[in-house]
């Protein structure tokens, strides 16, 4: 808990260490489906009651599922904290998981899966990850597949929750203006009967990165492309170097990729890069949406930008500007109760000691141009490059794409 004097609002998060990495082939999508179902009514409240009370307290009550955890959260005025806690704990501890509601919600989730399957931006990333993390739970889609999800039963969900929705796998974070002693009493009373459970049940080991090629022909106007490389795990000491390197490479409008690919060469309207770091593995993506006849030119140009960062130190000006931008974002986020609650929750759910904002700012400041060069040489090796394409590349079939991928690995 973090008390912030002078604020009039509060954010609370209940974090459960249960995500798609904890599922097997027969339960893929279970964590996400449970997240949906906990909004469908409890033994005390109907789904409509939950919706009415969430609206009445103002702010928002919502949830999200990731590969490694699920979070249920609320943002509201300080005087509504007790009601927000009551709503969230009622959902998590006393959900009805009614079979009739489940049948309807699984149809909704099926529609959500179809929506993702219709989105080339999602396909180009998620299907590549399936290839890269083959044989490891990181490959699994958070939403699961329709063939598996539509067969879930309420008994399946109750069994999953009995294993993962336990005290040893939960973290509760509260940030804002509130009475800390009263909040602690509320939480203790709400969770007094919750079993502790097993903390390390079904936790995956390190994921092995497999350089991969993915291609899906789709008759659409644009071509969607990703070049990917392995990257550090979530709690790596290189996380701040990754943040700076990624920002310089493709994190904003003054990044090298944006300036070269969009502004100078005019090859893409959308060009950016981002990292996905987990406890058991990491991946760095470079995404571009381009004309179907510009795949080879764009991919090679991207590789040249990466190669330049891998062979030459970034300039002191670039480093100074990027540090200033990242530190500004950190300071601004630190003034939000939700962002602070979220940061605190991520530290704790990953088993880390939370860092104060000043310590993070100092860690960012400590990164040097030499650190970034070493980082790029370690993680962005051309032979480790993966390649994903969704669309209808002009004059290229699967064989030609495989040849381009090999060329990128050799020349990049």
β-pairing, 282-290 vs 223-230, is antiparallel
Structure tokens at 131: 């290839």
Q: Helix or strand or coil: residue 193?
A: coil
What pLDDT does residue 373 have? Answer: 98
For residue range 69-85, list pLDDT tens digits in order. Answer: 999 999 999 999 999 99
Binned at pLDDT 50, 70 and 90, residue 349 comes out as: very high
Binned at pLDDT 50, 70 and 90, residue 378 comes out as: very high
What pLDDT does residue 201 have? Answer: 76
Binned at pLDDT 50, 70 and 90, residue 280 comes out as: very high
Cβ atoms within 10 Å of 112's Cβ, excluding its own = 15
Structure tokens at 159: 């069994």
Nearest to 245 by CA among 207, 209, 284, 288: 284
What pLDDT does residue 198 have? Answer: 79
Nearest to 158 by CA among 265, 285, 33, 4: 33
Binned at pLDDT 50, 70 and 90, residue 196 comes out as: confident
Q: Domains in the chain, ordered, with CATH?
A: 2-190 (3.30.830.10), 213-411 (3.30.830.10)
Q: Helix or strand or coil: residue 217?
A: strand
Q: Helix or strand or coil: residue 10?
A: strand
The pair phi, psi for residue 133, each rounded to 5°, is -100, 30
Question: Exposed (0-12), middle (13-18) or buried (19+): which is 368, by Cβ within 10 Å?
Answer: middle
Binned at pLDDT 50, 70 and 90, residue 412 comes out as: confident
* Range from 20-34, 185-199, 302-316, 320-334 carrying the lowest mean pLDDT: 185-199
Structure tokens at 275: 């990292």
Could you identify the residue written with the tokens 């590549």? 128
* pTM > 0.75: yes or no: yes
Query: DSSP readout, 285-305?
Result: EEEEEE-TT-HHHHHHHHHHH
For residue range 251-264, list pLDDT tens digits in order. Answer: 999 999 999 999 99
Res 193 pLDDT > 90: no
């Amino acid at each position: 808990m973090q008390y912030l004097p002078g604020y009039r609002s509060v954010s609370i998060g209940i974090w459960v260490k249960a995500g798609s990495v904890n599922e097997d082939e027969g339960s893929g999508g279970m964590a996400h489906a449970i997240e949906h179902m906990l909004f469908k009514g409890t033994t005390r409240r109907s789904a409509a009651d939950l919706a009415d009370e969430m609206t009445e307290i103002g702010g928002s009550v919502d949830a999200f599922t990731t590969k490694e955890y699920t979070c249920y959260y609320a943002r509201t005025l300080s005087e509504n904290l007790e009601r927000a806690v009551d709503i969230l704990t009622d959902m998590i501890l006393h959900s009805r998981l009614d079979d009739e509601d489940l049948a309807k919600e699984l149809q909704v989730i099926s529609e959500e899966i179809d929506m993702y399957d219709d989105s080339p931006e999602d396909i180009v990333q998620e299907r590549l990850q399936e290839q890269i993390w083959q044989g490891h739970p990181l490959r699994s889609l958070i939403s699961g597949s329709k063939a598996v999800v539509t067969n879930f039963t309420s008994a399946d969900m109750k069994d999953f929750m009995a294993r993962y929705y336990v005290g040893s796998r939960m973290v509760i974070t509260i940030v804002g203006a509130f009475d800390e002693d009263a909040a602690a009493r509320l939480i203790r009373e709400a969770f007094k009967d919750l079993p502790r459970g097993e903390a390390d049940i079904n936790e995956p080991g390190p994921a092995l990165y497999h350089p991969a090629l993915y291609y899906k022909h789709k008759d659409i106007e644009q071509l969607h492309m990703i070049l990917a490389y392995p990257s550090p795990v979530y709690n790596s000491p290189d996380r701040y170097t990754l943040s700076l390197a990624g920002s310089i490479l493709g994190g904003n409008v003054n990044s090298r990729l944006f300036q070269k690919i969009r502004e100078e060469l005019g090859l893409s309207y959308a060009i950016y890069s981002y990292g996905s770091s987990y406890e058991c593995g990491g991946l760095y993506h470079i995404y571009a949406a381009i004309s179907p006849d510009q795949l080879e030119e764009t991919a090679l140009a991207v590789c040249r930008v990466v190669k330049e960062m891998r062979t030459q130190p970034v300039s002191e000006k670039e480093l100074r500007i990027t540090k200033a931008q990242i530190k500004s974002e950190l300071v601004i986020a630190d003034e939000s109760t939700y962002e602070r609650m979220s940061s605190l929750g991520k530290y704790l759910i990953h088993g880390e000691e939370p860092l104060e904002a000043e310590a993070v700012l100092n860690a960012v400041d400590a990164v040097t141009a030499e650190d970034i060069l070493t980082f790029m040489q370690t993680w962005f090796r051309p032979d480790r490059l993966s390649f994903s394409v969704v669309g209808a590349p002009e004059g290229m079939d699967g064989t030609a794409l495989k040849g381009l991928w090999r060329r990128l690995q050799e020349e990049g």
